[in-house]
Amino acid sequence: MKKITLCWLVVFLGIMGAVQAQYVYDFKHTADVFYNSRDYYSAAQYYNKALGTFKIKPEQVLPYTVSGAAAPTGKLKDYQQVVARLAESYRLFYDYGNAETWYAQLVGFNNPAYPQARYWYAVCLRFNGKYQQALDEFTKFKQSYTAADELSVRTPLEIACCQFALSEANKEPRFTIVKTAGNVNEGGANYAPVVLNGNRLMYTSSRSETPPLPVTTDKQAAAKKQTKKGTPYVNDLYIASGRNNSYENSEKVKIPAAKGYDQGVSALTPDGNTLYLTRWSVKDGVKQSAIYISTRQNGGEWSEPKALGDNVNVTGYNSMQPYITTDGKYLLFASNRPGGMGKNDLWYCIMSNGTPGGARNMGTAINTKDEEQGPFYDAEKNLLVFSTDGRVGLGGLDFFQSEGDFGTWSAPVNMGKPLNSPKDDIYYTALDNTHPFAAGFISSDRESICCLEVFGINRIMKIASGLIIDCETKQPLEGATVTLLDTVRRKTIKKITLDATGRYTFEVDPQRYYKIVAEKDNYFTKALYFNSDMLERVDSMDNPTLCLQHYEIEKPIILNNIYYDFNKATLREESKAVLDTVVDMLKDNPKITIEMSAHTDSVGSVKYNEKLSQARAQSCVDYLISKGISQDRLIAKGYGKSRPIAPNSLPNHKDNPEGRQMNRRTEFKVLKRQVQVKDEYDSNTSQ
Kindly state whether residue 680 falls inside one of the protein's structural domains.
no
Which residue range is the domain that position 348 belongs to?
A: 175-213+231-459
| pLDDT score of 484 | 95
Name the band, by pLDDT with cuts 50, 70 and 90, for residue 675.
Answer: low
Mean per-residue pLDDT, 588-598: 93
Residues 433 and 473 in one domain: no
Rounded to a whole number of angstroms, the distance between the first and last alpha carbons of the chain is 28
Peptide bond into 418 cis (omega under 30): yes
How many structural domains comprise the chain? 4
Indicate if 202 and 342 belong to the same structural domain: yes
Range of 213-217, 460-464, 492-496, 532-536 with top mean pLDDT? 492-496
Can you say whether the dihedral through the CA atoms of 678, 680, 681, 687 is positive or negative?
A: negative
Are residues 316 and 242 part of one domain? Answer: yes
Give the Cα separation of 566 and 572 in Å (integer).
Answer: 11
Confidence of residue 561 (pLDDT cuts 50, 70, 90): confident
Judging by DSSP bridges, how do beta strands 513-519 and 526-531 pair with one another?
A: antiparallel
CATH number of residue 493's parent domain = 2.60.40.1120
Whether the pLDDT of residue 96 is over 80: the answer is yes
User: Cβ contacts of residue 315 below 8 Å, gap of 6+?
Assistant: none
Instruction: Give SS3 for 172.
Output: coil
**151 and 53: one domain?**
yes
Domain of residue 31, CATH code: 1.25.40.10
Decide if pLDDT at 586 tops 90.
yes
**Residue 63 near residue 116 (C-beta atoms within 8 A):** no
Same domain, 420 and 472: no
Q: Is residue 641 part of a domain?
A: yes
Strand (E) positions, 413-480? 413-414, 425-430, 439-444, 453-459, 462-470
Q: Is the distance from CB of 658 to CB of 646 less than 8 angstroms? A: yes
> Is residue 351 included in any domain, yes or no?
yes
Q: Name the pTM for this structure.
A: 0.74
Write the CATH number for 341: 2.120.10.30
Residue 346 CA to residue 375 CA, distance in Å, equals 7
Which CATH number does the domain housing residue 657 bear? Answer: 3.30.1330.60
- Chain-wide mean pLDDT for the chain? 87
Render pLDDT for 347-405 as a digit per residue (tens, 0 to 9): 999 999 989 999 999 999 999 999 999 999 998 888 999 999 999 999 899 999 998 99
Q: Are 326 and 282 in a shared domain?
A: yes
| Claim to verify: residue 132 and residue 207 sit in the same structural domain | no
Say if residue 209 is in the same domain as residue 332: yes
* Confidence bin at 276 (pLDDT 50/70/90): very high
Element at 139 (helix H, strand E): helix 131-144
Last-in-domain residue among 425, 459, 493: 459
Q: What does the DSSP 8-state code read for residue 71? A: P
Question: Which of the listed residues 431, 459, 487 is the one where a domain comes to its end?
Answer: 459
- Predicted pLDDT of residue 488: 80
Question: Do residues 173 and 460 make contact, with C-beta atoms less than 8 angstroms apart?
Answer: yes
Residue 96 lies in a domain: yes
Are both 253 and 390 inside the same structural domain? yes
Residues 453 and 573 in one domain: no
pLDDT digits (tens, 9 = 90+) for 306-328: 999 999 999 999 999 999 999 99
Q: Are 151 and 24 part of one and the same domain?
A: yes
d(Cα 370, Cα 342) in Å, to the nearest integer? 6
Do both 493 and 448 map to the same domain? no
Would 504 be classed as within a structural domain?
yes
219 has pLDDT over 70: no
Inside any domain, residue 433:
yes
Average pLDDT (543-567) is 88
